Structure 1
């Protein structure tokens, strides 16, 4: 949890006759937003500066310089935006009776602080994957009491957050059998190579019983926007019962 932050933004939407759909746009400037730089948020080397631990290490012949023994939270100015296009249309060969709903958008963010100060921000504290789990975020492997003073945070163990991140997302759905069956497909493609493609169908057996079936294909690099779920496609089924 963190305190309030200042956000300045504007948005607009209008119907375009040439495009036969709704065009929308939005932009926000997030001022001084809490961010993540591993060596500042979780500086393991500073833990050694705790008075009791520093005294113990000195007795073992290891000199740890004095200083603060806790992490700090860096901040960044980030510009976020979205440009979208929405449309309702009929495609009789696939659905003779109901229209299709198509919602698509290009979404991006620009970390102004990283661009103009060269600070190395990372993605929300997420550690990179290994064959057995995730990286530790430290150089702890191989350290002993004799050289523990060399402990430090390894920033490259965390997923990088590029100064400019963006992705394209598109959603298409329609309804059959008077709204009882609603198939839908969504595609999200990050410009750095990630993708997520959820495909699902909602079965409305009655107003109090819904059944959802969904398959999500995930892949690409371990980066924004799909994050931790790289190469872990998912199949799910859910039943919703309304009791009244």
Structure 2
């Protein structure tokens, strides 16, 4: 299965940051994996212009559940497609915690994204206390069941496993822990239907060029969702090259 390496810029990036996309194009060339960069909403159109005619696709970091309505300050999936986005990250733990997004809310957003023609990257993952209590598989399984709506398939869905305790902390699960969760996700996807059998499952959480090869070598790991290390082309390219 072809791996997917996606960069989540979060609330970082100004117009000057677009130079990193230009640099990334030059560093990756014909990459052996699919590459996605998800900048802030304000940079989507210019990022898509910079990535044109390259192997780099552009994604967004969230969308609203409605196609359009009176929701001041929100952005619909169609509004992401219009400037050139092809992917959207949904259900990231920072959205779940700070914006109180539930699994049900995530599912409605995934449906909106699919309707607009976007591929949704759904994030699932346990907290440190949940892992300490031995509930990681249970928590991730529950998130998966409730966040994946009917109609989602391998053609429009990606599931990113991001243990909350590893995001931006420098802490990384062991390869055995990653494989355990990814295998459980794979099993649950297969239980949800044949059309979800080949959904890609990237890992996210303190992924760097120095540990990417080991992570990519783990069973059922189909790429990475990268945070801070995606902001600089040289570091991000190092992760991408490890996916070959």
Query: TM-score, length-normalised on structure 1?
Result: 0.25
Higher strand share goes to which structure? 1
Query: TM-score, length-normalised on structure 2?
Result: 0.25
Q: Which has the larger radius of gyration?
A: 1
Higher helix share goes to which structure? 2
